[in-house]
Amino acid sequence: MAETPETSRDNTNPRLSGAAMSTPDLEIWFVREVLPLEAALMRFLRHNWRDKSEIADLRQEVYTRICEAARREIPHPPAKPFVFAIARNLLADRIRRNQIVSIEAVADLEALDIAVDQPGPDRNTIARDQLRRVQAALDRLPPRCREAVVLKKIEGLSVREIALRMGIAENTVDAHLTAGVRALADMLYGDIADLQGAP
């Protein structure tokens, strides 16, 4: 049905079809400019939101709003003020909507600009350290999970070959790989990286 499966992403989505900017550009920008801020964003969300079980959903909502706002025109760099303005607005919206307002949250919201200006790891530092970070992240995966990821990403084996090598079922390999990539993302971008990477 899709004649050009590789490039049809924009066209298949009525909601995205009005995008002035192509999705690949947006993805590149998102990965290069927004993801490196995730650790700082997560710190901010944790600090300003009492219900910790909602943090992942809040982060997702921030990313959704970022892309909705950025798809027409990518904001001028740096992305940090843009990202944190969106995060702050989101929290303000939520606080207004929920009548259960936490006093601390409001107080912290007012002090927010200071938090945003705190120095975080800048992109150059991240790029320079990335290899080391990836290695450290791999090292922190559970052993069987790491073995599957290493066999896939470093040895280049297929899932079938990994299953044979590790003596486990193919869907168990899948489970290791999905768990592995999620843990890697958290360690590379999230504030877990900060907590564990701190000397």
Partner 1 sequence: MSEMQGSPAPATAEEIEARAAEWLVKKHAHETWKSEDQAELDAWLAESWAHTTAYWRLSAAWNCTDRIGALRPAHLRRGEASARRNWRTVIRIAAVFVAAVSLAAVGAQYFAAPREKTYATGLGGREVVTLSDGTRIELNTSTVLHIATGTSDRSVTLDKGEAYFEVTHNAAHPFTVMADGHRITDLGTKFLVKNDPGRLKVSLVEGLARIEFANEPVKANGNLLKPGDVAIATADSISVSRAPERRLKDELAWRRGVLIFRDTTLAEAVAEFNRYNSQKLVIADADAAGRKIGGTFTTSGVERFAEVARLVLGLQVRERRNEIFISTDQHAE
Q: Which residues bind partner 1 (CB under 8 A)?
A: 1-2, 5-6, 8-9, 12-13, 15-16, 23, 27, 30-31, 35, 56-57, 59-61, 63-68, 130-131, 134-136, 138-139, 149-150, 152-161, 165, 173-174, 177-179, 181-182, 184-185, 188-189
Question: Would you say 120 or 180 has its CB closer to partner 1?
Answer: 180
Q: Pick the closest to residue 55 from 164, 192, 170 (CA basis).
A: 192
Shortest distance, position 71 Cβ to partner 1, whole Å: 9
CA 69 remoteness from chain centre: 17
Question: Would you say 43 or 140 has its CB closer to partner 1?
Answer: 140
Question: Would you say 5 or 119 has its CB closer to partner 1?
Answer: 5
Shortest distance, position 147 Cβ to partner 1, whole Å: 8
Shortest distance, position 24 Cβ to partner 1, whole Å: 10
C-alpha distances (whole Å) from 190 to each of 17, 43, 59, 176, 181 are 31, 9, 10, 20, 13
Question: Would you say 56 or 107 has its CB closer to partner 1?
Answer: 56
Backbone angles phi, psi at 150, to 5 degrees: -65, -45
Question: Would you say 17 or 110 has its CB closer to partner 1?
Answer: 17
Shortest distance, position 151 Cβ to partner 1, whole Å: 8
Shortest distance, position 107 Cβ to partner 1, whole Å: 25
Integer Cα distance of 101 and 118 in angstroms: 26
Integer Cα distance of 174 and 148 in angstroms: 9
Integer Cα distance of 59 and 86 in angstroms: 11
Question: Would you say 85 or 134 has its CB closer to partner 1?
Answer: 134
- Is 181 exposed, middle or buried (CB count within 10 Å of its CB: 0-12, 13-18, 19+)? middle
DSSP per-residue letters across 89-116:
HHHHHHHHHSS---HHHHHHHHTHHHHH
Integer Cα distance of 3 and 97 in angstroms: 44
Shortest distance, position 165 Cβ to partner 1, whole Å: 7
